[in-house]
Amino acid sequence: MDGIGRSLVLLLLLLLASAASSAAQQPQALGGRVIDRDHYGISATDVTVESGGKSIAHMKTDHAGRFSFRAPEGVYHVIAHASGFTLHEADSRFTADAPVEIALMIGPTISPIVLLPGAHGMDGKNDWNFGALVQGGFGVTENRGGFKFFTVGARAGKVLTSMAGRGILRGNFEIGVEVFPLWQSYTPTSVRQNCVLGTGLFGAQQATCSAPFTIGGTFTGVSVTPAVLRWNFAGTRRISPWVQGAGGVLWTNHKYPAFGGPPTCTPGCIITNPGNTIGNNAANSDTSVWNFTPQFGVGAHYFVSAKRSIDIGANAIHISSASLGDKNPGVNASVQFTVGYSWWK
């Protein structure tokens, strides 16, 4: 190879090395996890990342102790502090595929730094949670103030995104499902008669009514909410608030809610104003055993440990049959409060 050829090869190698160096300097999604001596994540830890004596990122860890920032791969000075734990301050090498795990100790013990791949990914992505919950409440609109509700069930959720957003809105997106094998509604009772119109003497319309019977009382069923769309806020060290929208379906052992009442025309009476006298108590004036439950709620997780939380919430739930029955009185709005317990994986 002559001198010109060697020069061209050398120039090509230099260009490739420069491109590789430039790619290595591009910002990456870096991060890690702050844990205690029992390997539980420490939430709401103040984490500062420095380079060359200057701060390049400052954040608080999420409910599982995770934090993240964007910078080129390399060595950074990290300062981590949580109430009740030893201050951590040391250098660590950050790479995109190996989150740094920082252990804080109670007392004067020096905090070690361990490089681990991270079992749960970054910022909660791919985390699962499973829980049991109890829910109860009451109707709040029109004539539904006497309606009461009680349900017992379970839920499962999966976090789909890393932490996103800024400030108080920072959090992650979760999709879940809730199943209530025990659903009960306690409603006021009333008396109803079913009436039909017939032709009486001289061709006049005449009402024929059934014997009076009681409607309302306790309804029992099963409720499934297959689409719970939840935003979990980063929150504080122990508390992670959330807001959600959801939609479900409800089946009851009797058509819900009860509808109708005693007719204003007694059996055998002559109707002079057809369509108004017996009101809505025709023979087929029924609702449906199937109803739909669109809802909106707020709540919070209170973490008793890194992987256990007590959950509280409040949901505004609308119950409607979408006119599957002859009538659709529904429950325009109810407020139902939830208490539960979750296991996080």
The yes-or-no verdict on residue 43 having pLDDT over 90 is: no
Whole-prediction pTM value?
0.64
In order of their start, the domains of the chain are 27-115 (2.60.40.1120), 128-344 (2.40.160.20)
The yes-or-no verdict on residue 8 having pLDDT over 70 is: no
Check residue 325 and give its pLDDT.
83
Choice between 327 and 278, residue whose per-residue pLDDT is larger:
327
Closest CA to 240 of 153, 154, 342, 152: 342
State the DSSP string of 126-186.
T-EEEEEEEEEEEE-STT-TT-EEEEEEEEEEEE-S--BSSGGG-EEEEEEEEEEEEEEEE
Check residue 210 and give its pLDDT.
78
Check residue 110 and give its pLDDT.
39
Retrieve residue 89's tokens: 């301050």
Quick: pLDDT tens for 267-276.
556 555 554 4
| Chain mean pLDDT for the chain | 81
Per-residue confidence at 213, pLDDT binned at 50, 70, 90?
Answer: confident
Partners of residue 334 on adjacent β-strands: 139, 317
Least confident of 52-56, 147-151, 308-312: 52-56
Choice between 19 and 253, residue whose per-residue pLDDT is larger:
253
Quick: pLDDT tens for 230-242.
999 888 767 889 9
